[in-house]
Amino acid sequence: MIDAHITETVRLHAESMEKNGALCPEVLELIHDRGLFKLFVPKEVGGRMLGLPEALQVFEDAARADGSFGWLVQIGSGAGFFATVMEPGAVRQLFAHRNFYIAGSDRPMGTARKTPGGYKINGTWPFCSGASHASLFTATCRIASDDADDGKLQAFAFTPEQVEIDEDWNAFGLKATGSHIIHVADAFVPEHHRFDVADPHFHFDHPVYHYPFQPFATANIASTAVGIARHFFEASRTHIDRKQSSWMEKTPERYDQVNRLLAEHEAAFLRAREDFYNTVESSWHSHLEGSPLEESHLDAVVGCSKIVAQAGIGGAQAVLRHLGMDVIMEDHPLNRIYRDLHVASQHGLLVDMTGEAADL
């Protein structure tokens, strides 16, 4: 699904998108044409509805083209899961648009007060990737009422007109994701735009919706890190070849030494990538056969996701230090890829329990 035309177009605009902090119209048009934000949206409402292993490969290929592009394809597609928890009428109304994209947060940082026909919402939520091009926003609130729902966590869907975007995303990587903070003040949300992410109804159904969520989400993010890492190793090889003549003049052995270092770390990364996909494939086949997924199997998916992300970021760190002064400049392509890999790998789902990370 991510062909040479998409890759070339995305990379052509990558530098300007980073400077502008958002995807450009040309790239968004390609995404909408190919339905790349709809990989987990039911076919009944115009989605692509892929199986998990196939979708992971698309996420990797998208991130291999560019980190911010890949991150948004992955995050945008993941919102397709809401089709299982929202009312069918709302799904048909909101998900069928060509430019469908949900930005939002699962952090319980809002309040919802009951009012006739729905709720009045107030809240502020950070890290809403793709906020600038979202057709819909979702966020988690705590119910404030005098009945049994008081204090209950629920999710709500808002239209773009109800949301104020505060462009605060100043991370040093994935700059074009526009992962800004959003504010909602006294917005009325009808009852049928309220949903419980822990209570799916499966009005629209597919095996991917029944796959356990944590390993699903972890694998999605890992595949994005994998794609960025592959791009880094490939771009490093191109950079080394371009530097060959100048390096040979000053330090003849440097070219071969750096090439060997690159090959060593890339090989270790590719072994971890193979283990990652094999583990996901095994769990997916068991899932399709109706076999209950054992805890050890799911732990293996999460574990391999963390290992491959670490192999990518660790290898990139080891190689970058030997690539020369050119790559420390922010406008160098390798610098951007390296920073994107750091930010994608910083997600809490990819960091071991002994480490610390801020959730994206």
CA distance 347 to 235: 24
Q: Name residue, tokens 């999460």.
A: 302
Residue-level pLDDT at 147: 77
Mean pLDDT of 190-214: 89
CATH 1.10.540.10 region(s) of the chain?
Answer: 4-84
The pLDDT tens digits of the residues spanning 63-95 come to 999 999 999 999 999 999 899 988 898 899 889
Residue-level pLDDT at 306: 97
Residue-level pLDDT at 149: 77
102-195 CATH choice from 3.90.1150.10, 2.40.110.10, 1.10.1060.10, 1.20.1440.230: 2.40.110.10
Tell me the HSE value of 125 on the side-chain side, using a 13 A CA sphere. Answer: 28
CA distance 340 to 224: 10
Check whether 355 has a pLDDT greater than 60.
no
CATH 2.40.110.10 region(s) of the chain?
Answer: 102-195
With CA atoms as reference, report the closest residue to 165 among 130, 114, 195: 130
CATH 1.20.140.10 region(s) of the chain?
Answer: 211-350
Residue 353 confidence class, pLDDT cut points 50, 70, 90 = low
The tokens describing 229, both together, are: 């890492």
Strand partners, 183: 124, 164
Check whether 307 has a pLDDT greater than 90.
yes
The pLDDT tens digits of the residues spanning 142-181 come to 998 777 678 889 999 999 999 999 999 999 999 999 999 9
The pLDDT tens digits of the residues spanning 250-278 come to 899 999 999 999 999 999 999 999 999 99
CA distance 338 to 165: 28
The pLDDT tens digits of the residues spanning 24-38 come to 999 999 999 999 999
Check whether 360 has a pLDDT greater than 50.
no
Q: Cβ contacts of residue 337 below 8 Å, gap of 6+?
A: 67, 228, 231, 232, 235
4-84 CATH choice from 1.10.540.10, 1.10.10.10, 3.30.2130.10, 3.90.550.10: 1.10.540.10
Which pTM does this prediction carry? 0.94
Residue-level pLDDT at 359: 43
DSSP secondary structure letter of residue 41: S
Secondary-structure percent of the chain, ordered helix, strand, coil, rounded to 5: 55, 15, 30
Residue-level pLDDT at 50: 97
What long-range pairs does 145-148 form, CB within 8 A, spacing at least 24?
A: 145/113, 145/114, 147/114
Check whether 23 has a pLDDT greater than 70.
yes
In the CATH scheme, what architecture does the domain 211-350 have?
Answer: Up-down Bundle (1.20)
